[in-house]
Amino acid sequence: MDENAKQAVRLLAARLPSWTVWYGQHTGHFWAMPRTRDLAVAPHIESRTPAQLERQAQEIERNFGPRGGLEGLPIIRPVAGRRTAEGRS
């Protein structure tokens, strides 16, 4: 990854604390995945530029941001083969 992409990822990560941000070397695109349950409507987002990625993330945050006290909670996904509280896998 070139130094500009590394710097852009660091800047995006600081500006978007609710997202995990990375640069895809094979795609040449910037990617982000939400860290919190309230933003899980977007499993991941992709963009050619850091500015576009930041705009997409901010739009998702505006439209689907914290509600009902879920802010800051991690996304919890069931592990295959484990039984849930209801006794189902």
Q: Is 15 helix (H, G, I), strand (E, B) or coil?
A: helix
Q: Say yes or no to pLDDT of 69 above 50.
A: no
Read off the tokens for 74.
Answer: 């991690």
Q: What is the pLDDT of residue 43?
A: 84
* Residue bearing tokens 């500009």: 4
Q: pLDDT tens, 13-60?
A: 999 999 999 999 999 999 999 988 878 777 889 999 999 999 999 998
More confident residue, 6 or 62: 6
Domain ranges of the chain: 3-64
User: Which pTM does this prediction carry?
Assistant: 0.69
DSSP-derived letter for residue 36 is B
Instruction: List strand residue ranges (DSSP E) for 1-89, in order.
Output: 19-24, 29-34, 45-47
Read off the tokens for 83.
Answer: 């039984």
CA distance 69 to 53: 26
